[in-house]
Amino acid sequence: MAGQSIDKSSEVLQRDVDKWKSAEDTLTNYRNYISRRDDPFALHYIDLLFVSNYKGGNSIIGGTEQEVNQTLTGHSKHLRLINSRFHGKSLQNLSEDEFQELNKLMYKAFEICKDSNSFIKGFGIAYCAALYHMQFPILIPLIDRRVLINSGIVDSNNKKLFAGTQVKHMESYYQELTARIYQDVKVTGQFEDIRAWDRYYFIQNLTRKLNEL
């Protein structure tokens, strides 16, 4: 039985390693794609397709291409604002004041997502954070169910925190999550950057859990 458990654990680990690799490939492809645009922050429907592929979820973007392109103008403007404030910086290079300012700007991004005038069906908080992360991969952290659970910020056994399998009010954990990452990449130096932190809690945390079986 023990041998069977180890084999299963290895299969699960390899599956998640493969998922991470696929996400990394998508991020690279997206970065190459926007580098060829005159304005990398001029978002279009195709940007959300990259995000959907990166997330590997089941969300379907609602609306016509023209409608989505028009609705994305608010995010395009907000991305330009973030770039004007933090161009070329990584999370670990930020001062405490800059870190707090960035968090406020991300909460504004979440407000844009939920606003009735800029709401896009299938483009929720996790996808919004993924889009901003893909634009600024060493500055803006992701937030999703897996990283919240694996990092211990959300208790998967507390069913009151979930709607089905999704974390309720995900944006309410963003401050705690980013403070944790900021501490680990800047203060303690435990991780080289956001990408290393995210990979660890996508794969390595699962490895530890499996080894305890």
Give the mean pLDDT of the chain.
Answer: 90
Residue 213, pLDDT > 80, answer no
- Among residues 184, 208, 205, the alpha carbon closest in space to that of 91 is found at 184
- pLDDT tens-digit map of 52-92: 999 987 789 999 999 999 999 999 999 999 999 999 999 99
| Residue type at position 22 | S
Distance CA 203, CA 19 (A): 9
**Lowest-confidence pick of 49-53, 95-99, 154-158:** 154-158
Q: For the residues 100-104, what does the mean pLDDT come to? A: 98
pLDDT at 108: 98
pLDDT at 13: 77
- Among residues 131, 123, 122, 163, the alpha carbon closest in space to that of 145 is found at 163
| Residue type at position 136 | F
pLDDT at 204: 58
- pLDDT tens-digit map of 155-174: 988 999 999 888 999 999 99
Q: Please report which helix (H) or strand (E) contains residue 109, including its range.
A: helix 96-114
Which long-range contacts does 141-145 make (Cβ < 8 Å, 24+ apart)?
Answer: 141/91, 141/177, 141/178, 141/181, 141/194, 141/197, 141/198, 142/198, 143/170, 143/171, 143/173, 143/174, 143/177, 144/55, 144/170, 145/170
**Cα 107–chain centre separation:** 14
- Among residues 195, 73, 76, 92, the alpha carbon closest in space to that of 132 is found at 76
Could you tell me how many helices (H) and strands (E) the chain has, helices first?
Answer: 10, 2
- Among residues 57, 56, 27, 20, the alpha carbon closest in space to that of 131 is found at 27
Distance CA 168, CA 33 (A): 33
Angle between helices 2-35 and 125-135 (to 10 degrees): 60
Tokens of 133: 């992360």
pLDDT at 207: 43
Q: Please report which helix (H) or strand (E) contains residue 163, including its range.
A: strand 162-163
Q: How far is CA 84 from CA 87, 95, 136, in A?
A: 6, 16, 12
